[in-house]
Structure 1
Amino acid sequence: MDDDALAQAYYDAIDAGDYDALRDLLAPDFEHVRLDMTLSGREAFVSFMRDDRPKTDTRHVVDAVYDGAEGVAARGRLLDANGGELFAFVDVFDVADGEIAGLTTYASPASSTAGSTSSS
């Protein structure tokens, strides 16, 4: 599986709640870094996604994927169950030996994303 497909499979597994598929995509020493927390280890990450994340009825929409030397970056939006945008994100995937070795997430509130509108 190429790096782009690996990133898409990651989002597909999370959106479907398929935690076995998610586990299969991640290296054992996988690390997820984001502003509010770092999760170290595949099992810790899968456990958080399955049991502790605040919203599970969400869908990732990937708007662009950028190829790099050791992985890809994906720019997209996380939507709630009604299709409302929760936030925009850029995920930087570190890929090694056909697995996701690391992921760094950069996110911004929906109200600050380019092209969004709000009513006062």
Structure 2
Amino acid sequence: MDAAALAQTYYDAIDDGDYDALREALAPDFQHVRPDRTLDGRDAFVAFMRDDRPRTDTSHVVDAVYEGADGVAARGRLLGPEGELFAFVDVFETADGAIAAVRTYASDVDATATTD
């Protein structure tokens, strides 16, 4: 699977609550760095998404994908039932057909909205 497809799988799995698909897309030593926390390891990240994230009623809208040599960057918006929560850019590093790392940059993140 190429990097853009892996990124889409990541968003789809989170939005659909498909934690098996999310786990399959991530490398064992996956790391997610975001404005409010860093999660180290695939299992820790999947457990957080499944059990601890503040909101699960959100969806990712990807407006653009930029391809690079070792991954992609996705620019989009996180939506809740009340509308847009914040804009984001996720930078995905991929290796051996899996997502090795995601670094999230977000604008106007409300502490109650920080989810994915």
Q: TM-score scaled by structure 1?
A: 0.88
**Does 2:78 correspond to 1:93?**
no
- CA contact 1:59–1:81 (8 Å) conserved in 2: no
Structure-2 separation of matches of 1:55 and 1:78: 11
Structure-1 separation of matches of 2:108 and 2:54: 15
Shift of 1:85: 0.1
SS of the equivalent of 2:4 reads helix
Q: Which amino acid aligns with 2:99?
A: I
Q: Within 5 Å, which residues of 2 pair with 1:3-82? A: 3-82=3-82
Greater relative contact order (Cα 8 A, min sep 6): structure 1 or 2? 2
SS of the equivalent of 2:5 reads helix
Could you say which structure has the larger radius of gyration? 1
Q: Name the structure 1 match of 2:113.
A: none
Structure-2 separation of matches of 1:86 and 1:50: 20
Q: Which amino acid aligns with 2:35?
A: L
Q: Name the structure 1 match of 2:101.
A: 102
Instruction: Show CA shifts across 1:21-77 (max 9, x none).
Output: 000000000000012111000000000001111110111000000001100000000
SS of the equivalent of 2:63 reads strand
Structure-2 separation of matches of 1:15 and 1:34: 18
Shift of 1:81: 2.5
RMSD: 1.3
Structure-1 separation of matches of 2:107 and 2:67: 22
The alignment covers a number of residue pairs equal to: 110
